[in-house]
A and B are shown apart, each in its own frame.
Chain A
């Protein structure tokens, strides 16, 4: 199982990538493009008798070859009795190119161009390429992200219990519960909140519960589907401004209005 291998790989690094990385990335990227059918009170989405869940997800994402979304992330640290807020954006292009960028309050960037992952920190007024010890592991995670976005959870069934809990408004929540004690030490549960918008579904919020009191809350907005991706998005930190400009003003029209999904 690739996730388990990633965790072992991370453990062997001299500066270890936290083992929640794969989970957080998982939640982030699944959270931007998940679709789910509603109607059941609580379904084991990973059980062999519920294959329609994965089928629906795969089918719903099939038309989209690119997407981008903004997000606001709140990190609640009970020990410090504070909430840290950050904002960022994510870009994805099939089969597996990814740009994950934090815009404020501190700028950082992780890009995967299909071959290599690069991590940057904006420090001392410039982008600095980091020799991140977790780059190899991150690269593997990013490759897997492509499969997740396409609705392929086959590799993760042994890692998580997946439950679908419908809501009255037509949306619902997906619960991802770690099966292993090792992973459960770092994360209790991931909640993916799905909102029904018209005839389609989109994920509005992802909550990662590290403990009873510590959590990371991500809220997504302005998802762009099959919209043009700025040059250098998956290769260069210099594309940051162009990527930010790809999102129209929030009080403007729906950027996906003219969207024509490719088959």
Chain B
């Protein structure tokens, strides 16, 4: 097993159990059919616009807001966070290539914090597993598709019924953030719970509406 994968697996286990346990995932699983089925089970959201009710908890402080994601015909995104009384907390544009630009913000966080964490996590449902992802068996049953690049690992966790239930981002083998997904009949998650251990915040997002 490649050393980098070891660190990812350690991170996975830490993420799963909260403690540093010996890795036991072993080698990537050579199950072409399973891997293809998991890749095929991912469906990009077929919606033009989604609104989430969001509660952000950071450092013992909490704020509530509505977040709006709008897909452009070219494949980019416009994303905004609006407070309950209607003023804009942040506005971001993501071009089709994935490059983000902060249009405005009145949060005390950097542009990078906004783009690389809060907004990136919000857009996770649109960013599914890559075709080159490798398949792993999880110790607590279920499967993971893992794609590693530049010491960053995207980990898509599936349950036994091949439902995508969680996303984890590992940096250098260390769990950076963890997003659990709850689904109903919609093509976007009904609930997303973010635990960002790197930046020490948690977010609960509940879908309010979606426009096909």
Residues of A within 8 A of B (CB): 13-16, 18-21, 24-25, 28, 73, 75, 77, 79-82, 84, 86, 100, 102, 105-106, 108, 110, 119, 121, 123-124, 128, 130-133, 186, 208, 210, 214, 216, 218
Contacts and interface: CB of A to CB of B under 8 A. Distances in A.
A106 B204 CA distance: 14
Contacts of B84: 86, 102, 106, 108, 110, 121
A19 B106 contact: yes
A80 B86 contact: no
Contact of A105 (B49, B51, B93, B103): B51
Interface of B: 49, 51, 53, 55-56, 58-64, 66, 68, 70, 78, 80, 82-89, 91, 93, 103, 106-108, 191, 204, 206, 208-209
Contacts of A210: 87-88
Which 6 A-B pairs rank lowest in CB-CB distance, beginning with the nearest?
A121-B64, A106-B53, A130-B62, A108-B84, A18-B106, A216-B86
B58 to A, nearest CB: 6
A80 B70 contact: yes
Nearest to A120: B64
A231 B16 CA distance: 47
Given A84-B82, A105-B51, A123-B55, 6 more contacts: A15-B58, A21-B85, A84-B51, A105-B209, A124-B204, A131-B62
Given A84-B51, A123-B204, A186-B106, A79 B87 contact: no
Given A13-B108, A80-B70, A124-B206, A75 B61 contact: no
A81 B60 CA distance: 35
A75 B85 CA distance: 9
> Taking each of B49, B84, B91, B209, which has the highest tally of chain A beta carbons within 10 Å of its own beta carbon?
B84
Contact of B61 (A73, A77, A131): A131
Contacts of B89: 18
Contacts of A108: 64, 84
17 contacts: A14-B58, A16-B106, A18-B87, A77-B82, A79-B78, A79-B80, A79-B91, A80-B68, A84-B68, A84-B82, A84-B86, A100-B85, A106-B66, A121-B62, A123-B53, A130-B64, A133-B61
